[in-house]
A and B are shown apart, each in its own frame.
Chain A
């Protein structure tokens, strides 16, 4: 997947106003099956997969005993004993090893099908209109975070109403051998309505505006789920899971720092890793920073001590040695109107 095709700003705007197509086949997919599949998933992730119905999707995190993140992922339930986990490309091997090492109660089958699986993300307000002309899945019956098996351009496809852009859209899983055909044909079908191929650059600016976390930047093995603002997917009442005790202690004692959004007050752009200061003292660094194409402001995320994390708090971001003013704001930076 290239950084850009026709330019990050153009691709970004296409996704916000029309549609964009991303080839995200690099993502990892694991099939977890068998009578203890749910038990395994419940033990290694923070969210409660027991509430999923067939055809439903859930955002979750693989947790460490310290309550930090090994990876963030999507959990798809096909049947009570059959799930697909969709993980970040960079973590495929380490995730697989982690999951298998905890597959000790019973014997769920955990199979890495990443290489056989193609994945395209069709995102934007016109995504449904474009896709409906190409699929037998009735999209008006497919709510957000649900999926159906069907066909796209005659190819057997799992059509999932999910994405990483903050817009309505779909992720399409199909046999990897069909990638080129679907990519070309979907782009052709959407051309007249403004569909553009979109790259990694736009994927990053879109997800940051929507405050969707990027593993490795905003979330990693040093950040607790509660600090990252992912308390909504930590389900203490579901039973035992890795990291539960540590997270429960943190929740009771309160977290010391919190992933917070900020906007730059001047024209300078905060980039990943730039130091962040409050009252002249270095408190953190930028985990994700970029121009916001939609808002025409320069935005970023950083872990701030909770006493400095309230919206309106003034910060300074060191931009190549110069202290540049910024202000804590509420997130997400961008929320689509119909959501």
Chain B
């Protein structure tokens, strides 16, 4: 189930907003498509990211895919636990598998609710 309190992008990232801080990860649907995640290539803390642009890459055994930022802002923190335990992206995509925290500069646009995203991935 996709948590109700998150917003979702068409590129299968989720965003949790608390004040002006956004936490970003990939959705359960995305991790299941990727298969075993073995490496996450993060941006530098302090880097500026733009909504819809790449903020890093995720390598699974079978493929590499880009992570698109659902929101514009500055990278505050990356999930260093994934350097040693990248499989958390698969096992707990909405929890321990979070990727980055961003100081949001512009409110996100074009994101979907949980229900909309569920419908989007069903179709």
Contacts and interface: CB of A to CB of B under 8 A. Distances in A.
A205 B57 contact: no
Interface in B61-90: 61-64, 90
A3 B64 contact: no
A202 to B, nearest CB: 9
Contacts of A320: 57, 64
B108 interface: no
A317 to B, nearest CB: 13
A291 B35 CA distance: 13
Given A8-B62, A201-B62, A271-B64, A3 B35 contact: yes
Contact of B36 (A8, A267, A271): A8
Nearest to B61: A8
Nearest to B90: A7
Contacts of A291: 38, 59, 61
B64 A8 contact: no
Contacts of A267: 39
Nearest to A10: B36
A290 interface: yes
A290 B36 CA distance: 13
- Give the interface residue-count category, chain A: 10 to 19
Of B62, B63, B64, B90, chain A has the most CB atoms within 10 Å of the CB of B62
A105 to B, nearest CB: 46
A164 B115 CA distance: 44
Given A3-B35, A4-B35, A293 B64 contact: no
A294 to B, nearest CB: 12
Interface in B86-116: 90
B64 A269 contact: yes
A9 B62 contact: no
Contacts of B64: 269, 271, 320
Nearest to B57: A320
A192 to B, nearest CB: 25
Interface string A249-290: 000000000000000000101010000000000000000001
Contacts of B57: 320
Interface in A142-185: none
Nearest to A12: B61
A8 B60 CA distance: 9
A198 to B, nearest CB: 13
B92 to A, nearest CB: 15
A7 B59 contact: no
Contacts of A10: 36
A3 B39 contact: no
A320 B59 CA distance: 12
B53 to A, nearest CB: 15
Contact of B59 (A8, A9, A269): A269
Of B35, B36, B39, B64, chain A has the most CB atoms within 10 Å of the CB of B36
B38 A201 contact: no
Contacts of B59: 269, 291
B90 to A, nearest CB: 8
B76 to A, nearest CB: 23
A9 B39 contact: no
Contact of A201 (B35, B39, B90): B35
B38 to A, nearest CB: 6
Given A8-B36, A201-B62, A267-B39, 7 more contacts: A7-B35, A10-B36, A269-B39, A269-B64, A271-B63, A291-B59, A320-B57
12 contacts: A3-B35, A3-B62, A4-B62, A8-B61, A9-B38, A9-B61, A201-B35, A205-B61, A269-B39, A269-B59, A291-B61, A320-B57
8 smallest CB-CB distances across A and B, nearest first, come from: A8-B61, A9-B36, A201-B62, A269-B59, A7-B36, A291-B61, A291-B38, A8-B36
